[in-house]
Every structure is written in structure tokens, then in C-alpha cells.
A and B are shown apart, each in its own frame.
Chain A
Amino acid sequence: MKIAVCIKRVPDSETRIKIGTDGKSIDESGVKFVLNPFDEYAVEEALKLKEHTNGDVVAISLGPESSQETIRSALAMGADRGVLLKCDSIPLDPLPTARALAAELEQGAYDIVFFGKLAIDNYDQAVGTMVAELLGIPSVSAITRLEVTDQSATVEREIEGAVEVVEFSLPAVVTAEKGLNEPRYPALRGIMLAKKKPLDVKDVDLSKGGLEVLELSLPSERKAGRIVGEGPEAVPALVDALQNEAKVL
């Protein structure tokens, strides 16, 4: 089976965000970048399927030169080769990214393409689903269970208070939600091997898309709260505050 997984380099989830001098982007100095957490689930699922079907997994990332490190993390986990679609900056509108990834994927004739549900920098939850639409193949987003049988698949996705069961035929796109699997840690041997695995770099040109950044700012601080007291004796005061001050009871 030919398998692809799309992965993004993002600031670590612990990052303290500082706004850059342009007021429109983050200050990247001192920021540690990692493989997007949801993409770890995507890579893991791709690897499980590869092991099952004797397949081949290519990890594709669109981003700056430094995204090579992100691709190497996926290679260290077990992906076979990497492709970097190199561009200086990624527009905020998800469609140009989806178009560039779709153009690359179209050439590969993959049976299944994995994405993360969401990139934790821009929070779009869009790119995977858009790519499927552009390629004209089925897709299901935010899956927590995947079963592939020959040329078709059944998945589950969580909706509000219930679970949807969806069936489709391959080729297809799925995007991975937490709970789908437990991503493996790369072993030392994997890290060594990853250094020698092929990684193609291709320059791409993205259109700038339809979103113009007016401003990036820190969220307004929450108004300072107060400790109403200690222990169970504080409960009446808490209830009173909720009832009469906050008026939420």
C-alpha cells in the first residue's frame, strides 16, 4: 500500500507566545519547534498500516528549510522517505497550503493519506479535508478508529455526545484525532537510520490567499479573580458569589 502523511512544524505546546515587532506574527526567537502533536497520531497510524500491508510511507511537509527536522522526526519514527515543499512563509488562509499539498499528492497515487486533525499554531482544522476535496476523493476528519480492508475502510469520529461510523473506498484522506493510537517514540536506531533516508526538497510558490492580517495580539487578560476562602467553610461564600455577583446559578 502506498501511504502518505502530511506533517507540520509548529511551536511546542508549552511555548510562551511573544508578538513580533511587526505586530502581525509571533517572535520566533527562542521558540522550540516540534512535530505537530496531532500529526504524531497521523504518522503512527500510517506506520501501523504500513506494517500491516507491507507498505511504504512518505512524510510530506510544507514550510521553511527548518521543516527538514520535522520530517526527520517522522523518518525516525519509521517513515521511509520525506518530501519538503519549501517556501519561506505559509499564508494564514489554508487553501494555498492545501493546493500545494494536493499538487504533490496527486503525483504519488497514494492509497491513503493521513493528516492531523488540527495544527496547533493556526488552529484551522481544514487542510486535510480541503486536500481531499481538491483531489476529489473521500475523506473523514478527526477519526478515533480506523479499519482498512482491502480497498475500503470504516472509521469512527466523535461528534457532540455520540460517535459517527463512516464507510468509504480508497483512495481516501483521513485526519487523526487524539485517541486514535499511542504514537511511538523513535528509538535511537530509528534516529540514526533517519539521517540516511531520502529527503527530497522542492521549491513551491504559494498564492497569498484571501486573509489579510491586520493584527496579532495577546488575548485580553482575565480580570484578576479572588480566593473566596479555604476548605468547606468557604462553600457558602462561593455559592453566594456565583449566585449574586456572577449571576450564573
Chain B
Amino acid sequence: MPNVMAVLEQRNGTVKRVSHEVLAAARSLADHIGGEVHGLVIGPKGVNTEGLGGAGADKVLACLADDLELYQADRFTHVVAEQATTGAYSTIVLGATALGKDLGPRIAARLGCTLASDVTSISGRDGVVVTRPVYAGKAVYKLKIATEPSVISVRANAFDPVSASRTASLEEVAEADGGKGRWARTVKVKEPEHAALDVAEASVVVSGGRGLKEAENFRLIDDLAEALGAAVGASRAVVDAGWRPHSEQVGQTGKTVSPNLYVAVGISGAIQHLAGMRTAKIIVAINRDPDAPIFKVADYGVVGDLFEIVPKLTEEIKKIREG
């Protein structure tokens, strides 16, 4: 019976939300082909693996060692490839995260198999069929995966986590010889002074553009984001102007986001910006130009001066949150 492997990510000892989405994607595939889902966690000792059964795993494979706290590309590849081979998995599913986008291609190359990256749907009915947006989201491929095994990475927020009353068995697996001591080593992770929610992971994003006129005015965006519990995003224009860091840029040469709510403030909606956010569930645009292209994709628009509208909006949101 072919099983599906879900590669799960942890940060600071907790399995990430995106990994629950990976489990959900793996689960739907496994249910179609009648196999099991095995979640593989690589990380430091003491990672909390509780609840992964309910999220879709039949079994959890845990490869834990204290020096696996940070992402060590070569060692992780070695562990996944080793497990993938011994377990004869038909499909290996990862999240299309910073880690997954690096690890996925390595595993595919190591196994000599097909890779479908950043997919937004998977079906197992007639073989494995995936959809993936290409050309900056301006077109979508429907692809049949014709070979086995294969590696698939899934876009964040494209799959809803499941919850079932399943408990997963836990099996500790050892890191096989051969992966250690070579090649690249991640020596540290630099956390920013003020830990901020990442646009790629947030369920609400508030982004600002050149309409804010100067860097200091981004305070308006910060305030609105705080009221909404949102991450702050930016257009390329303001990143290139040095107002905001590249890590906040949304779009073709920035991050792709699919939050439940995306608020675009003083952003015109250039095609390259839309590339990064057009799959958001709800889009709100605030812009003084009624003809700005952002209004073509927005669910709700307010035309006018952002300097008047945004503070009012922040105030109203705060009222709701507090009331």
C-alpha cells in the first residue's frame, strides 16, 4: 500500500500551522489512494508532537537531536531521502515555505523524481493531479504527475487544516550516517529586535505603498496592523525607496501571500504587486484614485485620502476589538 509522507516544520519546539495544512493535503491524497499519512518531524529534542493525529497523521516519525534545531539543509535532505526510500512513499508533501522551497528540490534531485512546487490543489482521483499558478498568477497549470515517487510543496493558506479524532503512533527515527559534517552549515538565526509576524504566514496583512508619501507615515499602517493583529506588508516602490525591509515586500519579486484579509493602502495595484496577493480571500483597497487598478481586484474599496481614512478605520477596529 503506498503511503504519503508529510514533512512537518517546527520552530522553537512547536509544529507550525503550515504543517497542519501539509497534513491536510497529504490526508486527502492518502484517502484517495487508500494509504496512510506519515508525518516526519526533524528538530530538537522535546518537539511537541501531540495533536498531529487529529490533524491527519496516522504515524509520526520523529528525528530529534539538539543540533537539529535550525534548518540544516544537507542533514535534513539526508533524513528525508533515507525515510522516503525505506518507506517507499508514493508522495512526499512539504509546505512551500522558506524551508520547504529549499528542501523540496533537494529531495527530488536526490530521489531523481518529479517536483511540483507551490501547488494550490491536489486531487488523487485519476492519478495525482495538481494545480499550480504560474506567470505570476496570470495563468494556472493543471498537471498530472506521471511518475512515482514525487515531491509536492503546497502553498500556505491553500489547504484548510482538518481535525479528526485520530491518534498517531510515534516512532523515533535516527539520523543515518553520511549526512553530517559535510557541506553547508546554518550557524545561527538572527531574529529581529521586535519580533514581527511574517506576511507569508499571517492570516491578515495590511500593506502600504507610495501613497504614504514618506517612511514615517508607515506608523499609520503599523497602527492599523496592530489593531487587526495583522502583519505589515509593502509594495516594491517603498521597499526600493528604503522605507521598509525587503522581507515585507509583497509581489512577484517579494512574497506571495494568501491571507483571509488583505488591506492595500496607497498601493496602485501594479501587475507585479497583484502577483503576490491576488489569491487573498478578501481584498480591501484604500486609494484616492478611483481608477487605480487595485480596485479591479478589491472586494471592498474606499476612495479617498488615506491620511483621513486609515486613522478612522484603526479607531473603528479597536472599538470592535475592545467591545
User: B261-295 interface mask toward A, CB cutoff 8 Å, 1 = contact, 0 = none?
Assistant: 10000000001100000100111100000100001
Q: Is there an interface contact between B109 and A98, defined as CB atoms closer than 8 Å?
A: yes
Closest to A168 in B: B184
Q: How far is the CB of A162 from chain B (nearest CB, A)?
A: 5
Closest to A156 in B: B190
Q: Is there an interface contact between A212 and B143, defined as CB atoms closer than 8 Å?
A: yes
Q: Decide if B1 is an interface residue (CB 8 Å cutoff).
A: no
Q: Is there an interface contact between A92 and B295, defined as CB atoms closer than 8 Å?
A: no
Closest to B191 in A: A162
Closest to A231 in B: B304
Q: How far is the CB of B314 from chain A (nearest CB, A)?
A: 10
Q: Using A141-B101, A160-B98, A160-B201 as known contacts, say yes or no to A19 and B139 having CB atoms under 8 A apart.
A: yes
Interface of A is mostly: mixed
In this complex, which of B191, B247, B295 has the most chain A Cβ atoms within 10 angstroms of its Cβ? B247
In this complex, which of A92, A209, A248 has the most chain B Cβ atoms within 10 angstroms of its Cβ? A248
Q: Is there an interface contact between B114 and A159, defined as CB atoms closer than 8 Å?
A: no
Closest to A157 in B: B98
Q: Decide if A165 is an interface residue (CB 8 Å cutoff).
A: yes
Q: Which residues of B contact A164 (CB under 8 A)?
A: 70-71, 186, 188-190
Q: Decide if A229 is an interface residue (CB 8 Å cutoff).
A: yes
Q: Is there an interface contact between A228 and B302, defined as CB atoms closer than 8 Å?
A: yes
User: B103-137 interface mask toward A, CB cutoff 8 Å, 1 = contact, 0 = none?
Assistant: 01110111011111110000000000100111111
Task: Out of B73, B101, B104, B313, name the residue touching A238 (CB < 8 Å).
Answer: B313
Q: Which residues of A contact B295 (CB under 8 A)?
A: 225, 227
Task: Out of B113, B192, B301, name the residue touching A225 (CB < 8 Å).
Answer: B301
B contacts, CB < 8 Å to A? 70-71, 73-74, 77, 97-99, 101-102, 104-106, 108-110, 112-118, 129, 132-147, 150, 182-192, 195-198, 200-201, 204, 228, 246-247, 249, 252-254, 260-261, 271-272, 278, 281-284, 290, 295, 297-305, 308-309, 312-313, 316-317, 320
Other A-B pairs beyond A94-B105, A126-B108, 13, CB < 8 Å: A38-B253, A120-B135, A165-B186, A165-B188, A166-B73, A166-B186, A213-B142, A216-B140, A217-B139, A217-B142, A222-B283, A226-B300, A227-B295
A-B contact pairs, 28 of them (CB 8 A): A26-B135, A92-B143, A123-B117, A124-B105, A129-B102, A131-B109, A133-B109, A159-B71, A160-B201, A162-B189, A164-B186, A165-B190, A166-B73, A166-B184, A166-B186, A166-B187, A167-B185, A210-B145, A212-B145, A216-B140, A217-B139, A219-B278, A228-B301, A229-B303, A230-B303, A231-B304, A242-B261, A242-B284
A contacts, CB < 8 Å to B? 11, 13-17, 19, 26, 37-38, 92-95, 98, 120-127, 129-131, 133-134, 137-142, 144, 156-169, 172, 177-179, 209-219, 222-223, 225-232, 234-236, 238-239, 241-243, 246, 248-249
